[in-house]
Structure 1
Amino acid sequence: MQPIVFIDGDQGTTGLQIHERLRGRTDLRLLTLPEAERKDPARRAEALNACDIAILCLPDAAAREAAALVRNPAVRLIDASSAHRTDPQWVYGFAEMAPGQAERIAQAQRVSNPGCYPTGAIGLLRPLVQAGLLPADTPLNIHAISGYSGGGRAQVQAFETATEGHRPPALQVYGLGLQHKHTPEIQQHAGLSTRPAFVPAYGAFRQGIVLTVALHLRQLAPGTTAGTVHQALARHYAGHRHIELLSADQAQAQQTLDPEALNGSNQLRLAVLGQDAPDQVLLAAVFDNLGKGASGAAVQNLDLMLGLGAV
């Protein structure tokens, strides 16, 4: 029998992308509500309790309310909001994050999909903390630029319906109070004991992310080099098909980083740059904020929970 999947919030940016990725698949059945019933609490509750797996593509408060509506113990949840990402009762849905994480996702009743920016930051930092190269209390500065779709429907409308003379700035740095909601998620799942400084930005392109972390080698374990860092990442991600680590030669050849390079995919590309710098190293991640940073990861987690996926 085909498993039934219900996307609660399938008209939002992430929900639409998940629906598109699942459309046409014959190994599952999508449960959808007519437009007139999408905001009807009773019909939503009915759908949430009638499916095998529900994917919540809602604002944080609405995601918490939707999770509370589930009374059927057989229903499993994937939450694409940030409501449960630091909740120990939910399994964090970054399958490549740690050994055994994909198996934990596959068996979980409740999975919290990672945030877009945290996917890049955790993907770069956690392997180094686990390897003992990066002390957990290192003060870090993380910079990232995302396509405007990262701001949801409001930002998409602002950019795509703007008239001449009323367009948003080509670059908008935000989170200036250093209290971005993704920071606790990054700290917890990267294994950091010191809260990192995280400075995000939106650019005048629809989707894609470049995230960078610049490090002084003196911040790392004695004797650590760019090559040591690269080897640690290579060991951590060996055999993971959705993670691409540029070789030392490929990284050295990079002159620029294109945030749109992996759009439409579920790939996360990592690089260790600045290999010729005598005392510094630059970590970089490139991926699609609507792919590995949202809908792609949700579908990957769905497949793991259905016993159909591999990492």
Structure 2
Amino acid sequence: MAIRLFIDGAAGTTGLEIRERLTGRDEFELLVLDDAQRKDEAARRDALHAADIAILCLPDDAAKEAVKLAEGSGTRIIDASSAHRVAEGWTYGFPELVNHMPGTGRDAIANAQFVSNPGCYPTGFLALLAPLVDPGISVRGGDPINGGLLPFDFPYSVNAVSGYSGGGNALIDRFAAEPNIAFRAYGMAGGHKHLPEMQTYAQLASPPVFSPSVVPAHRGMIVDIPLPLAMMGARGWPLALWNLLDEMYEDSDVVRVHEMSDNPSELLLMSDADPWDGMDLYVFGPFHEQGADDLPTHARLVARLDNLGKGASGAAIQNLNIMCGLPETTGLRL
């Protein structure tokens, strides 16, 4: 029997791309509300209670309201908003972080009732940094024999750029109405909504300094973490960082770690890029073995992904597949 699936917020950017990835999939029976019903509370409650699984593609407050509407139903929920990413009782839907910290990974997702999709920027940030950080290593605590390669209490920074679709229909409309916008830096005062999950799942002592920006491309994202190795008490040279990431994702069909010897001289976002649900990771820095005389002064960890793919809709489909016991990459654009 087909799995009954309801997408609450199906008319938004993320919802539309989820529906596109479900095209032709007879494992699911899609419950659809017409335009007159999709904002009607009673109709939404009925659909949420009728569904086996619901995917919430809503603003945070509306997502919280949807969870309340679903109370008593037993419906399993994937929330694509940021409302529940660090909330008690919710599983963080980042299957590649398996074994990194309790409550993450494929088994946790497969058995969860409530799964929260990662944010687009945190997806790149955590994929790069979380495997390299050990919460027991302190810059001030000396150089332990065992543990992670990077300290948990360093003041990390992250520079990131996204296509404008990450801001939803409002930002899409703004870029259409103001075609002279070439670059938009935002969140200048700090306090971005992604910071709690970035700190929590990388197990950092404090949130990173986050510098997000948007360019006139519909989709695409680059996340860049600079590492001043010589001043941060790092135990890992660039090649050691690469080795750990490569081992972490060696069996993944979604995340690819590029060879350091093959690193490109530039990374591009294309204005006409096709949907893509994978993620490319890079370690930039001096390429030689640990043990030379001088620790390299710096490295850069960089992720390239589609903010609407692995950063949103693709991640929701990946989690949906895992929750339903289906092959993880079914329906993904890889």
- Tell me the TM-score normalised to structure 2 length: 0.88
In the other structure, the counterpart of 1:283 is 301
Q: How does 1:148-167 map to 2 (within 5 A)?
A: 148-160=164-176, 162=177, 166-167=178-179
Match of 1:48, as an amino acid?
L
User: 2 CA distance for matches of 1:41 and 1:297?
Assistant: 27
User: 1 CA distance for matches of 2:316 and 2:234?
Assistant: 39
Q: What do the CA deviations read for 1:125-164 (whole angstroms, capped 9, x no partner)?
A: 001014511111011110000000011101111223x2xx
* Distance change >3 Å, CA 154–CA 282, structure 1 → 2: same
Match of 2:55, as an amino acid?
I
SS in 2 for 1:118: helix
In the other structure, the counterpart of 2:152 is 136
In the other structure, the counterpart of 2:161 is 145
User: 1 CA distance for matches of 2:21 and 2:229?
Assistant: 41
Q: CA deviation at 1:274?
A: 2.3
- Note if contact 1:138-1:219 (Cα within 8 Å) is conserved in structure 2: no
SS in 1 for 2:150: coil
User: 1 CA distance for matches of 2:59 and 2:75?
Assistant: 20
- Note if contact 2:4-2:53 (Cα within 8 Å) is conserved in structure 1: yes
- Note if contact 1:15-1:57 (Cα within 8 Å) is conserved in structure 2: yes
In the other structure, the counterpart of 2:266 is 256
* Distance change >3 Å, CA 237–CA 221, structure 1 → 2: farther
Name structure 2 gaps, 5 residues minimum: 135-146, 288-294, 330-334
In the other structure, the counterpart of 1:111 is 115
Match of 2:324, as an amino acid?
L
SS in 1 for 2:247: helix
Match of 1:46, as an amino acid?
D
In the other structure, the counterpart of 1:5 is 5
SS in 1 for 2:110: helix
Match of 2:106 among 102, 124, 128: 102
Q: What do the CA deviations read for 1:52-109 (whole angstroms, capped 9, x no partner)?
A: 0000000000000000111344310000000000113100001101226111001100
SS in 1 for 2:74: coil
In the other structure, the counterpart of 1:193 is 205
* Distance change >3 Å, CA 86–CA 140, structure 1 → 2: same
Q: CA deviation at 1:285?
A: 0.2
The alignment of Structure 1 onto Structure 2 pairs a total of residues equal to 305
User: 2 CA distance for matches of 1:225 and 1:28?
Assistant: 47
- Note if contact 1:262-1:287 (Cα within 8 Å) is conserved in structure 2: no
In the other structure, the counterpart of 1:216 is 228
User: 2 CA distance for matches of 1:85 and 1:92?
Assistant: 6
- Note if contact 2:150-2:234 (Cα within 8 Å) is conserved in structure 1: no
Comparing 168-177 and 281-290, the one that deviates more: 168-177
- Note if contact 1:132-1:221 (Cα within 8 Å) is conserved in structure 2: no
- Note if contact 2:9-2:57 (Cα within 8 Å) is conserved in structure 1: yes
Q: Provide the aligned C-alpha RMSD in A.
A: 1.7
Asked whether 1:267 is paired with 2:278, we answer: yes
User: 1 CA distance for matches of 2:201 and 2:269?
Assistant: 23
Q: How does 1:223-242 map to 2 (within 5 A)?
A: 223-242=235-254
In the other structure, the counterpart of 1:14 is 14
Q: Give me the identity figure in percent.
A: 44
Match of 2:328, as an amino acid?
A
User: 2 CA distance for matches of 1:49 and 1:294?
Assistant: 24
SS in 1 for 2:77: strand
User: 2 CA distance for matches of 1:285 and 1:35?
Assistant: 38
In the other structure, the counterpart of 1:302 is 320
Match of 1:177, as an amino acid?
A
Match of 1:174 among 153, 177, 186: 186
User: 2 CA distance for matches of 1:132 and 1:7?
Assistant: 40
Q: CA deviation at 1:223?
A: 4.5
Q: CA deviation at 1:259?
A: 3.1
Asked whether 1:125 is paired with 2:154, we answer: no
- Tell me the TM-score normalised to structure 1 length: 0.94
Q: CA deviation at 1:221?
A: 5.0
User: 2 CA distance for matches of 1:123 and 1:223?
Assistant: 19
- Note if contact 1:134-1:219 (Cα within 8 Å) is conserved in structure 2: no
In the other structure, the counterpart of 1:206 is 218
- Note if contact 1:137-1:193 (Cα within 8 Å) is conserved in structure 2: yes
- Note if contact 2:160-2:212 (Cα within 8 Å) is conserved in structure 1: yes
User: 1 CA distance for matches of 2:296 and 2:114?
Assistant: 46
- Note if contact 1:259-1:287 (Cα within 8 Å) is conserved in structure 2: no
* Distance change >3 Å, CA 5–CA 232, structure 1 → 2: same
- Note if contact 1:171-1:204 (Cα within 8 Å) is conserved in structure 2: yes
